Amino acid sequence: MANLANFDLNLLRVLDALLREGSTVGAGRRLGLSQPAVSAALGRLRHALGDPLFVRQGQGLVPTGFAAGLEEQLRTVLEDIEGVLS
C-alpha cells in the first residue's frame, strides 16, 4: 500500500478522472493532460496501490473491484481538499 510521504497526490485526480471517463483519452481531456501522461500516471498508481486498477474492455477501461471500491471515498476526499483550498 502507498505511503503518503512518498505518494504524489496529483495521482488521485488522475484516478478520479479514469473512474469517471473510463479511458485514458477521456481522462486526459478532463485533466488537460496527454494520453501518454495519463497512461504513465496509471502505471505509477498501479505500482503504488498494488492493484491493476483497470482492465481493458474493448476501447475502454473497466475498474477492478479495488478501484471501484475507492470511487466514493476518493470523490469525497477530493471535494474536501477543494473546500480547504477555496
pTM: 0.92
pLDDT digits (tens, 9 = 90+) for 24-70: 999 999 999 999 999 999 999 999 999 999 999 998 999 999 999 99
pLDDT of residue 22: 97
Q: What is the DSSP letter of 75?
A: H
CATH 1.10.10.10 fits 4-85, yes or no: yes
Q: What is the pLDDT of residue 3?
A: 75
**pLDDT by residue (tens digit) across 37-48?**
999 999 999 999
Q: Which residue has the cell 478501484?
A: 67
Predicted confidence (pLDDT) at residue 1 exceeds the cutoff of 70: no
Domain ranges across the chain: 4-85
Distance in angstroms (rounded) separating the CA atoms of residues 5 and 40? 20
